[in-house]
């Protein structure tokens, strides 16, 4: 241990105190030994350090910080160097606000397009997500502080995220859900990881020995710290044994005492605690070095310009019929859509950033060169229908050559803690589009949202430009694309299905009660659509440009692929070339193609460049469940270079020698997986894949409710008090939505409805402790008066203890 001498000077109580927070965002300090507290802050796309009382829901305004485009947006740039630059600026701003640990980036896979937090995640592909995350981490940590990769792992739904049990086979876990974390750790060298709320195959992730010790500490040789998500600790001792250093937020000393008693009682050895303390001290001491230097404020204008550059490179042109874009000089433009005036530029929940500057479309027209003849909102932001607004918009549209129609999803639809209800954009926006089409068919739709949406209306738009959530400078960036000042170069980091029912996880998302089964296995995103031959609206890796590119002369060696790329159009531009591999053997089921490399190249008009994309240790590997390790199958492999997963321009083959591992599967017993048609796998076949029976996915309504049951389950409680409380919560949610208070209604779902009872103690910072919670559970389970007496008695005991301190 690096800090053995210092640790030997600590009392058991002091060591235990370091294992949980001092308050909502700070860690404990030990002044007599010169150990200072750290500050942790949300920051996937901008620093959220709250100016007043801290919370985790984004209720209180943060100190102004640059709001960069979200991860889902920047992933469309396919530029890990750009991600590293974003990280550097995030790190600078973190230092200006005296933050030690920045809680991001998030690298969970986009298993399903309805996950409410997809705007915070990079991609459906682990290789792309891992490379982008590694760039962010290098940038953040180059400033001397720590990044914190999250949420480790298989946290792919928001509903019941604190209690859901994710059932997934080992190969899928390794190849799809852990690879991005592996790249983030090995290439980004992140100093901290945040464990997720959920269970993995029956055990909470931060207590999961296989995940935390065998894989993270063992195989990946991770030396950094593991931090719980806020309120995400279940059994503190089990978490400590698994190597979870820091529980956040504070529990007012309750779990520290559990650690002390566990050591005194011989349940765990003190050496286990010492090792956790040692790793935490390394994080504290290395991230406070930067604060010994003179304090420097960041350059607000410079950071705003960088945010604009990032947005420009991340915007995706999805459709451009008749080359309506870029806009021709002198065209009269009608600007329609609520999002034009009040930009939709970031997600909601724990990542809300208070921007230093905020560009709105209507304020940026003068410098764009685009001639606007006026603006109409056209629709109510939160879905309410309004015929008068549509009529006014149509009046304006009649006078214009072209309509710029700003549509998308609102802030309360995409939020931390809630999943989306559908893939549609609000009906009132579609009504507007249909009405406008009858008076002027030159419609350019500008989308603002953080995830995939259905587009049954797309034939009524001549162009579709997807800005995603472009941060505080996103509106200006979009105008620069529309005007032609910038040539679009973004490509989709996720597939857009034609309809939600086409998605591979359609029948198994979200888990509504005890568990969620990942029956689709390794076939998520394009891996499924390409293998099962399902048509999509826009494929993974797709994006248009104002120029064209020609691919030629592929040469494949054991080191990688080399080819020529020519800008065959009339304007300079950037192209994202993608390398996919496909195994020709049919002995082990595999996707038709998998992304194994990419590069983004700037090429002047008429210029040709030679491009190389190297192979690496992940190019040909697969995880063998019989040998329990990564293997290479001996086979011919097709090497594909494409402009998207569906637009392969060059092909070649190479023979790769294998590692000689035994075949992991009986082909006859897994027909769906060998065909790749896994959107509706039977439970029997899924059990053959995972090699065991799956747990019952429904609640046992006959059992009393316990710590890990949720408030939502009070609808089945024995206690009248609990059932009444449940219906009051449901009514409050309905009523608040009815009167237009949708953000407040969402908070009820996020912070109450899906909260496990243990979370009440873990998130309240010690206001309610576990003995008090026992009293609440007695009341819930039908022993109202006994529970009330117990609750009051324990509260009195707690208050007396606090007085005597």
* Catalytic residue annotation: 229
How far is residue 192's CA from residue 103's CA, in Å, rounded to a whole number? Answer: 9
Tokens of 324: 């309506």
DSSP string, 61-93: PBPPB--PPPHHHHGGGT-HHHHHHHHHHHHHH
Task: For the beta carbon of residue 630, count every other beta carbon within 10 angstroms.
Answer: 17
CB 608 within 8 A of CB 565: yes
Listed in sequence order, the residues at least 6 apart from 745 whose beta carbon sits closer than 8 Å to its beta carbon are 412, 732, 733, 736, 737
- CA pair distance 747, 506, nearest whole angstrom: 26
Strand order in the sheet with 40-42: 40-42, 101-103, 146-152, 192-195, 225-228
Asked whether the bond before 105 is cis by omega within 30 degrees of 0, the reply is: yes
DSSP calls for 540-556: TT--B-SS-EEEEEEEE
Residues 493, 521: Cα–Cα separation, whole Å: 20
Q: Is there a contact between 138 and 87 (Cβ–Cβ < 8 Å)? A: yes
Would residue 471 be called left, alpha or beta, if left means φ above 0 and alpha means ψ between -120 and 50 degrees? left
DSSP annotation of 497 reads E
d(CA 39, CA 101): 7
Q: CA 431 to CA 427: how far, in whole Å?
A: 6
Backbone φ, ψ for residue 2 (5° rounding): -70, -35
- Closest C-alpha among 255, 710, 797, 755 to residue 789: 797
- Contact by Cβ (8 Å): 477, 470: yes
DSSP characters over 418-454 = B--S-SPPPHHHHHHHHHHHHH---EEEEEE-SS---
Residue 534, exposed/middle/buried by CB under 10 A (0-12, 13-18, 19+)? Answer: middle
């Amino acid at each position: 241990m690096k800090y053995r001498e210092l640790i030997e000077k600590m009392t058991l109580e002091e060591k235990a105190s370091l294992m949980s927070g001092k308050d909502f965002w700070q860690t404990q300090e030990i002044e007599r030994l010169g150990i200072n507290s750290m500050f942790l802050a949300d920051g996937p796309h901008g620093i959220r350090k709250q100016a007043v009382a801290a919370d985790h829901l984004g209720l209180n305004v943060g100190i102004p910080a640059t709001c960069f485009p979200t991860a889902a947006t920047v992933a469309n740039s396919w530029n890990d160097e750009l991600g590293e630059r974003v990280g550097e600026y995030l790190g600078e701003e973190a230092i200006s606000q005296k933050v030690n640990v920045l809680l991001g980036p998030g690298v969970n896979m986009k298993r399903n397009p309805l996950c409410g937090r997809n705007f915070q995640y990079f991609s459906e592909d682990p290789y792309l997500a891992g490379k982008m995350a590694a760039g962010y981490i290098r940038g953040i940590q180059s400033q001397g502080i720590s990044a914190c990769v999250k949420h480790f792992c298989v946290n792919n739904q928001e509903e019941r995220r604190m209690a859901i049990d994710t059932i997934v086979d080992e190969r899928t876990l390794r190849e799809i859900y852990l690879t991005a974390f592996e790249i983030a750790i090995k290439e980004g060298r992140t100093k901290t990881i945040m464990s997720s709320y959920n269970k993995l195959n029956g055990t909470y992730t931060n207590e999961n020995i296989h995940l935390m010790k065998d894989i993270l500490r063992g195989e990946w040789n991770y030396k950094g710290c593991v931090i719980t998500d806020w309120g995400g600790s279940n059994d503190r001792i089990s978490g400590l044994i698994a190597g979870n250093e820091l529980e956040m937020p504070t529990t007012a000393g309750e779990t520290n005492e559990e650690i002390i008693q566990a050591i005194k009682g011989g349940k765990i050895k003190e050496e286990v605690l010492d090792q956790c303390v040692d790793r935490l001290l390394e994080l504290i001491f290395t991230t406070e070095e930067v604060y010994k230097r003179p304090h420097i404020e960041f350059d607000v204008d410079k950071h705003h310009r960088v945010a604009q550059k990032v947005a420009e490179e991340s915007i995706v042109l999805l459709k451009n019929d008749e080359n309506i874009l870029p806009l021709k000089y002198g065209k009269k433009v009608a600007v329609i859509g609520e999002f034009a005036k009040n930009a939709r530029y970031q997600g909601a929940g724990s990542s809300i950033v208070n921007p230093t500057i905020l560009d709105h479309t209507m304020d940026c027209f003068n410098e764009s060169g685009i001639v606007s003849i006026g603006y109409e909102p056209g629709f109510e932001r939160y879905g309410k229908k309004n015929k008068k607004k549509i009529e006014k918009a149509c009046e304006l549209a009649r006078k214009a050559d072209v309509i710029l129609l700003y549509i998308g999803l609102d802030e309360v639809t995409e939020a931390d803690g809630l999943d989306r209800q559908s893939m549609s954009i609000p009906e009132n926006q579609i009504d507007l589009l249909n009405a406008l089409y009858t008076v002027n068919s030159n419609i350019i739709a500008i989308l603002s949202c953080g995830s995939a949406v259905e587009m049954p209306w797309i034939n009524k738009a001549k162009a579709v430009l997807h800005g995603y959530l472009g941060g505080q400078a996103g509106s200006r960036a979009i105008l620069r694309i529309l005007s032609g000042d910038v040539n679009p170069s973004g490509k989709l980091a996720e597939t857009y299905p034609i309809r939600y029912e086409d998605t591979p996880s359609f029948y198994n998302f979200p888990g509504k009660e005890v568990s969620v089964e990942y029956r689709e296995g390794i076939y998520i995103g394009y891996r499924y659509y390409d293998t099962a031959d399902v048509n999509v609206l826009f494929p993974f890796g797709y994006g248009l440009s104002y120029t064209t590119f020609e691919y030629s002369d592929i040469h494949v060696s054991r080191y990688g692929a080399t080819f020529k790329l020519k800008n065959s159009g009339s304007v300079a531009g950037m192209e994202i070339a993608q390398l996919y591999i496909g195994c020709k053997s049919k002995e082990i089921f595999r996707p038709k193609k998998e992304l194994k490399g990419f590069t983004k190249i700037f090429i002047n008009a008429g210029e040709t460049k030679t491009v190389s994309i190297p192979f690496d240790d992940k190019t040909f590997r697969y995880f063998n469940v019989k040998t329990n390790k990564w293997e290479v199958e001996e086979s011919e492999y097709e090497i594909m270079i494409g402009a998207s997963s569906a637009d392969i321009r060059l092909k070649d083959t190479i023979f790769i020698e294998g590692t000689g591992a035994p075949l992991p599967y009986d082909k006859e017993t897994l027909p769906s997986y060998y065909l790749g048609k896994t959107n509706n796998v039977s439970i029997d076949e899924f059990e053959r894949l995972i090699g065991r029976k799956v747990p019952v996915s429904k609640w046992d309504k006959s059992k009393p409710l316990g710590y890990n049951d949720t408030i939502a389950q009070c609808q089945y409680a024995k206690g009248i008090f609990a059932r009444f409380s449940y219906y009051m919560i449901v009514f409050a949610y309905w009523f608040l939505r009815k009167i237009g208070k949708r953000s407040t209604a969402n908070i009820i779902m996020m912070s109450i409805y899906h909260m496990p009872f243990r979370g009440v103690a873990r998130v309240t910072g010690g206001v309610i402790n576990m003995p008090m919670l026992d009293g609440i559970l007695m009341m819930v389970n039908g022993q109202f008066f006994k529970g009330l007496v117990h609750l009051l008695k324990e509260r009195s005991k707690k208050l007396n203890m606090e007085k005597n301190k």
